[in-house]
Homo-oligomer: A and B are copies of this chain.
Amino acid sequence: MRPTSAQVAKLAGVSRTTVSFVLNNVEKSGISNATREKVLAAAAQLGYEPNAAAQSLASGSSATIGLVLPDIHHLYVDSFLSRVVASVSEEVRRHDMKLLIETVDRGDTFGYQRLAKNGRIDGMIVVNPRENEYTVLAEINRDFMPLVAFGSRRRSQQTCAEFSTTSSDNFFNARLAVKHLIALGHKNIGHISFSSDSFTSVNSRERGWLAALEEHNLNARDIRESADLSAESGYHACLRLLSKKQSFSAIFAGNDTVAFGIIRALIDKGYRVPEDIAIVGYDDIPLAAYGAVPLTTIKTFPEEHGRMAVKTLLEHLKGISEPNHQKFDSHLVIRESCGARK
């Protein structure tokens, strides 16, 4: 049905070997220009496209990379992850490779192994691995294929060295955000996290919040609630926080999407932002400047970050095998929700 390399070879009057050499630009094969032209013309005439499965089987590589997402629900509600997917997709494509999107359930060790063994992909990028997954990932990197963990670096140096990571320093940035609030005079600063703290990134931001408080001898350990990625969950978490009757004058939100919900809850309850309660978010999502109160937030760079993960992976695929740890700088973007202005 679809033309095969044999048909191209026949039409061009050469062997399949030659067709393969020409189409794959094998340097050392020394194909004459005349032969090359004939092959190319024949392939074009037949509309020939190599069968990827056959190529993969024969060559042992699939020219595909896998992007493993922690939980597909994240994509529904938060824009950070979609920007990662977009940039990874773009970068993969720029290198003439394909992108397979995978989800692995919470702690499903076999899921990772299946993916590593079935030969569909040559390498994988794992977004926001959970604390209990590092062991499997290290095994995969050692035994099967290069792997880059995106978005979090574990505290333990030792485990971390086992595969490459690209991360921004969630701990440092969260601490920075909270210190900004402290510098503005806030003493009671709550925190609403954006997901389960089994995710390293969630966990690190929470630790950053606590660290900033401790450095300034503040205690706000109990002014804390968990949301679950969506603005709606942030809204409800904020209501729960308010119902505790603890006093606080600022909230550090685990991410911007949640911050949107928090701000709406505060407004609905008659608080002014930032006059009564100040807010700092995290991520600088595209809508951050366009909400009810333009959001002061930690700007992250998911696109650059995604591209870097792909580049690192491709280097490993080319044979550079020393794991490395890329760090991304972030910085505070000051808008109105923190009260530093006006």
Interface residues of A (CB under 8 A from B): 2, 47, 49-54, 56-57, 62, 64, 69, 72-73, 75-77, 79, 81-83, 85-87, 89-90, 93, 98-103, 113-114, 117-120, 144, 230-232, 235, 257, 260-261, 263-264, 286-287, 289-292, 303
Contact = CB atoms under 8 A, between A and B. Distances in A.
Given A2-B117, A62-B53, A286-B77, A101 B103 contact: no
23 contacts: A2-B117, A47-B113, A49-B117, A50-B118, A53-B53, A53-B56, A53-B62, A64-B120, A72-B86, A75-B82, A76-B86, A98-B120, A99-B100, A100-B101, A101-B101, A230-B286, A231-B286, A231-B290, A257-B286, A260-B287, A261-B290, A263-B290, A287-B287
Contact of A85 (B52, B62, B85): B85
A120 to B, nearest CB: 5
A143 to B, nearest CB: 9
Contacts of A72: 86, 89-90
Nearest to A115: B49
Contact of A286 (B49, B76, B99, B113): B76
A252 to B, nearest CB: 18
Oligomeric state, in number of copies?
A: 2
A169 B57 CA distance: 45
Contact of A290 (B90, B120, B292): B292
Contact of A79 (B53, B82, B102, B144): B82
